[in-house]
Structure 1
Amino acid sequence: MMPNRPDAKRRVLFWLSLVCLALGALLAWQAQAQKASPQSGLALAMTIDDAIGPAIGDYFQRGLELAEEREAELVVVQMDTPGGLDASMRAMIRAMLISPVPVALYVSPAGARAASAGTYLLYASHVAAMAPATHLGSATPVQLGGGGGLPGLSEPEPETEPESEPVPESQGAVQEAADGEASQGESTQDAGSARQDESAQELAKRRGETAMERKVLEDAVAYIRSLAERHDRNADWAEQAVREAVNLTAREALEQNVIEVVASDLDDLLAQIDGRTVVMDDGTLTLSTADLAIERFDPDWRTELLAVITNPNVAYFLMIIGFYGLIFELSNPGGLVPGTIGIISLLLALFAFQVLPVNYAGLALILVGLGLIVGEALMPSFGILGIGGIVAFVIGSVILMDADTLNISLPMIGGIALLAAGLMLWVMTRFIGLRRRKPRTGQEELVGSEALVLDDFAGQGHVRLMGERWNARSTRPLSRGQSVRVTAVDGLTLEVEPLASSS
């Protein structure tokens, strides 16, 4: 007897349901077990191998944000920098100090350095590390006070010695005897005073020669000492690095408690700092870096583009292109191409100047100089506006940047100034040539033209000029077919005289 077919189907469906429930329970248990079990963490590796500037600052802060989003255990920054802008450095340090993810600054590869701003960043990091054959230091602010004018204009005035009073004759012998007794000690006194002068000069160098230099120097010293004290590093050497621009190798920095680790590579660094306690914004944190997976976050196209735009020479050139593009568009409305290129270039230049340490007096001089050069082209003044514009343009270009490491290239300044001078000279010669050229329209064009006498007359008659019949007047009798020259125009009557060859 055959079994009932509906009952068989029910049993099959029942067992299939049990199997699906078992598989679902198994998958849920596995997911929960994976969630509960510890996974290997993530270390985000970044690279800084250029001067500290707006582009590097943007890249660094985006890296910290990415590390926080990815819940990374550590950010490792491989650094090789000659220094850079103070504003960008301080922005990076602020982001590092408040970051919930610890940051390890690692000066590498061999031969790299953490100079100037790099030293501050190393002191601000949660873990300071260096590779063998690297060094750090030279943290003195390069241009104290933001520049004091053009080179050579701020030399300290030499101190004048007070004039000696005349000695009476009666005291001459006594004075000579005293001089003879003191002559033996003069050499030792001179040597001592020389040493004192050298010490005073050295002290002035360490403390700053002017009030502004002292303010900037003391601010830098206090800043780096506060960073050193936060992470329990050698604050005295940090002050020396600022005041005296001293340097240390990786091994010396480790011995003097400037850094914590000398590591040969990233894996060695992660192994050495495993279990180390670091100071965070909200307390302390014990690092667990033994089994971290390294993920790289290298500079992308945005960082490269920002680095190009914020290059002082590129920003300067973009400003020149933008200015002349707008001038050409305004002088020839409807061209579109100069105006489009000009507005884009000018906006990019303004963005770069927003993040660069720009001296606005220099920027104003550049714009005034360019305006005077254009004014010379539109309203010739025989060189007065043009020469003044070139002088203002060159001076403004030299003092445009407040940082020595970001100065405009002098060959570029000279090249653009020579180009502007050549353009101005060409415009002047063109205007002079136009003034000497014979008029081509109006009554002035008729003076000096040749005409043909249509009938004999003495006094008034008619001539043909440029295919037209004109009334003519002459003080000499003229015959039909004779060639004459127009000497003046009186309304619709021409003053004529016979040509020398036809007289």
Structure 2
Amino acid sequence: MGKWMKFALVSWLLACVLLPFQVLANQADSKNASIYVIPIEQTVERGLEAFLERSFSEAEENGADHIILNINTPGGAVDAAGHIANIINSTDIPVTAFINSEAISAGAYIALNADEIIMVPNGQIGSAGVIDGAGNAAEEKTQSLWISRMKTAASEHGPEGGRNPDYAEAMANAEFDVEGFPSGYLTLNAKQAYEVGYAEAIKDDLAGVLDYLGYDEEEVHVTEANVSIAEQIARFVTNPIVIPILLSIGSLGLIMELYSPGFGIPGTMGISALLLFFFGHMVAGFAGWESLILVVIGAVLLGVEFMAPGFGIFGLLGIGLIVGGFFMASFSTTVMVFSVGIALFVSIVAVIVLFVFFGDKGPWKKLVLSAQTTAAEGYLSAETNKALIGMEGKALSVLRPAGIALIGDERLDVVSEGGYIEKGSSLKVIHVSGARVVVRKVEPVQSLKKEETD
């Protein structure tokens, strides 16, 4: 047998031995399905949206077979819920919503965009009316759009061609009633949701969900997406309630620092609040370095205006850049207008209070000349010659009302009492204050007596 024949025989034998092991390995891999469990907890806001976008991307990159949304939320921002729904609908991976407690308001909308809904026995879904920041019902236009979105999500998802959109409308519209349920925003418990087709199953825990989906818990690889510390900060910072608080603390801290010697706690507090705002918005993907750079440049221009007061150009430009930087970092113009308005109000009140009680400190002392040129310190103005009062003289020029006069033997700059005096008129000094000599026109008494005698 030749050398090449021996090599071919050995290779064939090795392949026969190793092939069964490879088949078994492939079979084992096929059993180990990859399941991603992504939590949707607390308030729905734009920080949660950034977390879900990252988690869905990781699931797709790692070839996940199924995504389970572990939902327990009282609701939140409508715009954030809309973006989260887009993330769910853009993936090719099957998505199941597991409501382990409640999916209220925006949470209900998110759940309705999943392919299937599974609830715990005491779960709740619904009550999805849109309210504004004051707790009142939103305007009709906003309500109409939201109701349409709820109905669309219900009709386009779920088994057998979607769910009955009437229940979704009843969840979002307090004036729309469905038979068998009380008036007002509809909320379904697990049993009711199952009966009307808004839940495909009722299970106690995640193991029950996996069993319902056809996965053996021991043969699947479950990955639980965790919110990182940075994302937790981002979720906190991007909350519409927290944003105006941070901006107010930032402006108040910096204003108080202007009244403090050196750099201390108020300045640290103010800068920390502003940096926290930008850090959270950058982690959430809303802000870039350009917005932070704008704010820094604006702060420098404001500092220049304070230290070297001019015509206000640097100050106005600085304020414009700072406000522009905040708006560039924001995910909502409405939220930022509201937040900047509150921060501006707090700043104005703080400036007034500090100016009233600490007016002799802070930046104002750089703008006001406090030194006095008193005689006790050796500063003298023009000497007041009281001896001139009562002396008479003659106008050497027209007084309009200032001019030149000869008082005694001395030429002086004088000013009339208020009226026009011709050149050559007789004058009398009536007041002297420093270099200011006030004169009054007088008639030559002697010439009048001479005319009477004649």
Tell me the TM-score normalized by structure 1. Answer: 0.51
Q: How many residues of Structure 1 are paired with residues of Structure 2 in the alignment? A: 320
1:235 has 2:165 as partner:
yes
**Residues 325 and 341, structure 1, Cα contact 8 Å, conserved in 2:** no
Instruction: Check 1:315–1:266 CA distance in 2 against 1; reply closer, same or farther (3 A cut).
Output: same
- State the shift of 1:422 in Å: 2.9
Pick one of 253, 260, 269 that aligns with 2:209.
Answer: 269
Match of 2:146 in 1: 220
TM-superposed CA distance for 1:329, in Å, is 11
Q: Call closer, same or farther: CA 1:298–1:348 in 2, change over 3 Å.
A: closer
User: Contact 1:377/1:428 (CA < 8 Å) preserved in 2?
Assistant: no
Whether contact under 8 Å (2:78, 2:106) holds in the other structure is yes
Number of the residue aligned with 2:43: 51
Contact 2:72-2:99 at 8 Å conserved across structures:
yes
RMSD over aligned CA atoms reads 5.2
* SS, match of residue 67 in structure 2: strand
Instruction: Note the C-alpha offset of 1:315.
Output: 3.2
| Structure 1 residue 39: Cα displacement | 2.3
In the TM superposition, residue 312 of structure 1 has moved relative to its aligned partner by 3.7
Deviations 1:76-103 (A, max 9, x none): 1111111111221111111111211111
Deviation at 1:21, TM superposition (A): 8.6
Matched, 1:103 2:34: no
In structure 2, the residue matched to 1:250 is 190
Q: Is the contact made by 1:60 and 1:92 (CA closer than 8 Å) also made in structure 2?
A: yes
SS of 2:236's equivalent in the other structure is helix
Shift of 1:426: 3.2
Report what 1:131 is aligned to: 120
In the alignment, what sits opposite 1:390?
none
Which residue, 206, 223, 227 being the options, matches 1:299? 227
In the alignment, structure 1 residue 319 sits paired with structure 2 residue 247:
yes
Q: Conserved in 2, the CA contact under 8 Å of 1:128 and 1:260? A: yes
What is the one-letter code of the residue matched to 1:309? V
Alpha-carbon separation, structure 2, partners of 1:40 and 1:248? 35
> What letter corresponds to residue 197 of structure 2 in structure 1?
N
Structure 1 pair 125–322 and aligned structure 2 pair: CA distance change class (3 A): same
Question: Aligned partners of 1:343 and 1:254: how far apart in 2?
Answer: 48
1:26 and 2:5 aligned: no
CA distance in structure 1 between the aligned counterparts of 2:195 and 2:93, rounded to whole angstroms: 27
In structure 2, do the counterparts of structure 1 residues 28 and 130 end up closer, same or farther at CA, with 3 Å as the change threshold? same
Looking at structure 2, the residues matched to 346 and 48 of structure 1 have their Cα atoms a distance apart, in angstroms, of 23
Which residue of 359, 367, 379 maps to 1:428?
A: 359
Query: 3-state SS of the aligned residue for 2:152?
Result: helix
**Which amino acid is 1:246 matched to?**
L
Report the AA paired with residue 269 of structure 1: V
Against the structure 1 CA distance between its residues 344 and 319, is the aligned structure 2 distance closer, same or farther, given a 3 Å change threshold? same
Q: Could you list the per-position Cα deviations for residues 441-472 of structure 1 after superposition, in whole angstroms to 9, with x for gaps in the alignment?
A: xxx15x21489xxxxxxxxxxxxxxxxxxxxx
CA 1:247–1:342 in 2, change beyond 3 Å: closer, same or farther? closer
Note if 1:86 corresponds to 2:14: no
Conserved? CA contact 2:252–2:347, under 8 Å? no
Distance in 2 between the 1:19 and 1:34 partners? 23
SS of corresponding position for 1:448: helix
Match of 1:120, SS state, is helix
> CA–CA distance in 2 between the matches of 1:346 and 1:298?
22
Distance 2:69 2:43 in 1: 14
Counterpart for residue 423 of structure 2: none
Alignment of 1:121-200 (within 5 A): 121-143=110-132
Q: Does the aligned pair in 1 maintain the 2:246–2:274 contact within 8 Å?
A: no
Partner of 1:158: none
The alignment status of 1:310 with 2:299, answered yes or no, reads: no
Q: Distance in 2 between matches of 1:225 and 1:436?
A: 69
Q: Which amino acid in 2 is paired with 1:60?
A: L
The one-letter amino acid of 2:229's match is W
Deviations 1:181-237 (A, max 9, x none): xxxxxxxxxxxxxxxxxxxxxxxx9xx8xxxx2222221121111111113213111
Secondary structure in 2 aligned to 1:80?
A: strand
1:41-64 Cα distance to aligned partner (Å, 9 max, x none): 121112122111122111112222
Unaligned runs of 5+ in 2: 1-5, 175-184, 288-300, 310-331, 380-433, 435-454
Structure 1 gaps, min length 5: 1-14, 155-204, 275-287, 357-370, 380-399, 452-487, 489-503
1:76–1:426 CA distance, 2 compared to 1 (3 A):
same
Residue type of the alignment partner of 1:134: G
Q: Deviations over 1:313-336 (max 9, x none)?
A: 54335434655788899999x98x
**3-state DSSP class of the match of 1:257?**
coil
The whole-number CA distance in structure 1 between the counterparts of 2:61 and 2:187 is 37
